[in-house]
Amino acid sequence: MTRGTARREGEEIFDLVAGFLHSQVLAAVIELGLLRDMLEVPQAVEELAQRHHVPVDRMVVLLQAATALGLLQRRRRGYVTSRKGAALLGVPGLDAMIAHHGTLYKDMADPVAFFRGETDPGLAKVWPYVFGPGAEIDPGRAQIYSDLMADSQALVAEETLRAVTFADSDVVMDVGGGTGVFVSAVAKANPDAEFILFDLAEVVAQAEDRLAKAGVGDRVRVAPGSFRTDTLPEGADSITLIRVCYDHADETVAALLTKIYDALPEGGRLVISEPMSGGTTPRRAGDAYFALYTLAMGTGRTRSPEQLRTLMRSAGFTQVKAHPTHRDFVTSVISGRKIRK
């Protein structure tokens, strides 16, 4: 038993040591499009090498590594995408997120300097919108951001709607709602409700077309604005913050929560859904990925449910509680109500 435990611990330690190389194998596989190449039909090494301009001997190393990681399987005629590889392709936006990680990898090239705060992370320049009014937002950059968030937002919406219901809501407002992926999902699940989508003008410019294609455009009012400087639209009895708080510092979140509290009627509800820290029980996704990501962005932080609960209560919310989700690496959910004592 001791030998078995030592072996497992040794393997886990080795995976930590080799993890960066594993991520680079994954990045190469995604950027070259190898998983799609071999999704149904096995491909020979020579064919793949020629197609992607990679020397045959180096392509062999890459394919063997991807097979060892479970992304591919060897066949008599070459390699084919494995079940895990196919599942990866089936996750909306995951391949785009992996391809986008190049900037984060560069930011972590000197990890000690990074944690000392001695670097100038490039990720902060990727998402300038988080710095609020006055930040230069290139339309092309806004498009990239919107597409990336929209692709991955579907999973967040699925997990959130498993955790909470909006059946008792008449009007739901999604603050920082991007191009309306979450609003569309909630609207489809609640055909009798009305909705408000509130986000920066550069972002919501793409929303109306998406909402129309989803068949919910007639029930969603698009309201451009900044929650930092503008008054929130009135009329919602439920307000959602989907992957918003962890992009911003405590003082920004505290001010936003106060705005939301003031905008809600008596009995109104706030729902926050985003990746969260495990607090006293750290989580791999929240504490060993998203916490580093937000640190590299130069603003925001990945908070535990307890930290969010404290901020919500300070804004006046009561009945604050966490709602279990099936996949906390996708999102966690917490809610509170405006009920005066």
Pick from 295, 194, 314: nearest CA to 253: 314
Contact between 209 and 146 under an 8 Å Cβ cutoff? The reply is no
Domain boundaries, the chain: 2-90, 103-337
Contact between 61 and 81 under an 8 Å Cβ cutoff? The reply is no
CATH of domain 2-90: 1.10.10.10
- State what percent of residues in the chain have pLDDT above 90: 74
CA dihedral 102, 105, 109, 113 (to 10 degrees): 120
Q: Is the pLDDT of residue 183 over 90?
A: yes
Q: 10 Å Cβ neighbour count for 157?
A: 22
Query: Please, which pLDDT band fits residue 153 given cuts at 50, 70 and 90?
Result: confident
Pick from 194, 193, 183, 191: nearest CA to 160: 183
Q: Where are the alpha helices (DSSP H) in 40-119?
A: 45-52, 56-68, 83-90, 94-100, 102-107, 111-116
Q: Is the pLDDT of residue 341 over 80?
A: no
Amino acid letter for position 335: S
In this prediction the pTM is 0.88
pLDDT digit string (tens) for 256-291?
Answer: 999 999 999 999 999 999 999 999 999 999 999 999
- State what percent of residues in the chain have pLDDT above 70: 92
DSSP state letter for 234 = S
CATH of domain 103-337: 3.40.50.150
Token pair belonging to 162: 């498993």
